[in-house]
Structure formats: structure tokens, C-alpha cells
Amino acid sequence: MTEKEQHEGTTHFGYQNVPASEKARKVAEVFDSVAPKYDVMNDLMSFGVHRLWKHFALKLVAPRAGERMLDLATGTGDLAVKIAPKLGPKGELIASDINASMLNEGRSRLVNAGVVGNVRYVLASAEVLPFPDNYFDCVTISFGLRNVTDKLEALTEMNRVLKPGGRLLVLEFSQPVVPGLKPIYDVYSFKLLPFMGQVVARDADSYRYLAESIRMHPDQEKLKSMIYEAGFGQVDIYNMSGGIVAVHRGFKL
């Protein structure tokens, strides 16, 4: 089933099939629930390694003074808080999320860190970006693409708003590539992760959805093909932690 067919009919919400029109609402309910404990759970779930994943992604992004950047699915602002200072007073960062609870968490984090002046906050869907063509030097999306209903449509929108030669960076959970890692990862994902979610966030179901959504997300090569299909040129893949997480970097033709 194509992304467009999914969008027009049914799609997956974790392992469930749901009307495509309902997925965004159901994802919103998940993140409304987990927002207050999101950062704590990120540290617990990854044993702090998510900070290294994001540090590596930022090195690939290489923000420069004066650039205009878009951070989609900005969440609690892990990337945004690092990117904005590098853009300087003449640059601009737009931090965007479809979920108001997460966007508010991100705004609070940046304000508390003293990151103000060159950041705007926009509540928007990645599938319908409210920005002009050829507007940004770089678009980033970190651990958010798997929650989008129509991923190809979102990637096409990212291509549209990028300037020619602009860069895209997708940081996302992916599929293990190291022999023997998958069964260990499955036990962790489907047993330990919901347990931690229940103990810390009082919400096992949302973290069960997280594990399922990762399994339903396109693997490294499939996502690379989708990025090409969305109109990008060179696309590079960088696996981390044995492929549990991958960075895809593409450039607009």
C-alpha cells in the first residue's frame, strides 16, 4: 500500500489499522500524555545515548550564522536549543510541531535556556507546511517522521520549502543491522519499554505504541528511496547503535 493510499483510506497506528483521518488525533493523544515526562523517559529509554545521537546529527547539520532553518517535530527542543545560537541574530530558526503540548514544552526549554530573539514557534503539520517555496537553508526532523500519516507527502513538503542545494536531515529509529541484535532489541522494546513507561509516566500504552511505530517505519533503504522520490538528490545514511537509529541526510536538487 502506498503512502497516498494509506492517507486516503486506512493507515497504521502502531500495529493497529485506523482511518488515516484519525491517526494525527491518536498520535496527539500519545504525546499529550507523555509530554511532561518526555525528557526523563528519553534518558531512561536510551540510557542517555540519545544525546550522542543528536550530537552527531547536529554535526551533520552544521548550522551556520545567518541561515534560516526549520526544526520539525521539535518536541522538547533538543535540537532547537543547540541550533538557534549558531544561527546568530541575523539567522532564524522556526521550531514547529503538530502537537501543542510538545511545542509548549520546547518553548519553555528554549526560554529557560535564554534562547530568544531568533526563534519562532509554529503549530503545523509536516504534511502541509505554511511556508513559501525555497525558504529554508536546512530542515531537520528528529524522531518525528514515523508518526506522520503520509511520510512521502511530508518529505515532498520539506523539499518544497528548502532552497536549491538546501539540506534535509532525518534522525529516526530504524532497523538493527548488526547480527543478533534484533531479538535483544525486541525484548527490550516490547517488555522493558512499556514497563518503564508505566512506572515513570503512568502510561504503558503510549510506550507500547512507540515500539510498534518503530517496527512499522520504513527501514533505512526504503526511507532513502522515499527521500529520492520526494525530489532530493544525494542521500546518505549513517547508522548508529547498530542501526537502531539512523540519520538520513539529503540535498535538494
Reading the chain (253 residues) residue by residue, the pLDDT tens digits are 444 444 458 898 888 888 998 898 888 887 877 777 777 777 878 888 999 999 999 999 999 999 999 999 999 999 999 999 999 999 999 999 999 999 999 999 999 999 999 999 999 999 999 999 999 999 999 999 999 999 999 999 999 999 999 999 999 999 999 999 999 999 999 998 888 888 877 888 888 988 899 999 999 999 999 999 999 999 999 999 999 999 999 999 9
pLDDT at 8: 56
Phi, psi (deg, nearest 5) at residue 103:
-60, -40
Q: Which residue has the cell 526549554?
A: 109
d(CA 101, CA 76): 9
Instruction: Report helix, strand and coil shares of the chain as percent, to nearest 5.
Output: 50, 25, 25
pLDDT at 93: 98
Instruction: State whether the Cα torsion 42-207-123-216 is positive or negative.
Output: positive
Distances (CA, A) of 42 to 133, 170, 234: 34, 18, 31
Question: Which tens digit of pLDDT belongs to each residue from 105-123?
Answer: 999 999 999 999 999 999 9
- What is the bridge-based pairing of β-strands 10-13 and 16-19? antiparallel
> Helices 50-61 and 80-87: crossing angle, nearest 10°?
30
Is the Cβ–Cβ distance between 236 and 249 less than 8 Å?
yes
**What structural domains does the chain harbor?**
3-177+208-252 (3.40.50.150)
Distances (CA, A) of 177 to 180, 215, 250: 9, 14, 21
Q: Please, is 90 exposed, middle or buried when counting C-beta atoms within 10 Å of its C-beta (0-12, 13-18, 19+)?
A: exposed
Contacts (Cβ under 8 Å, ≥6 apart) of 126:
72, 73, 96, 98, 141, 144, 145, 148, 154, 157, 158
pLDDT at 41: 75
Give the residue from 153, 120, 152 showing the smallest Cα distance to 136.
120
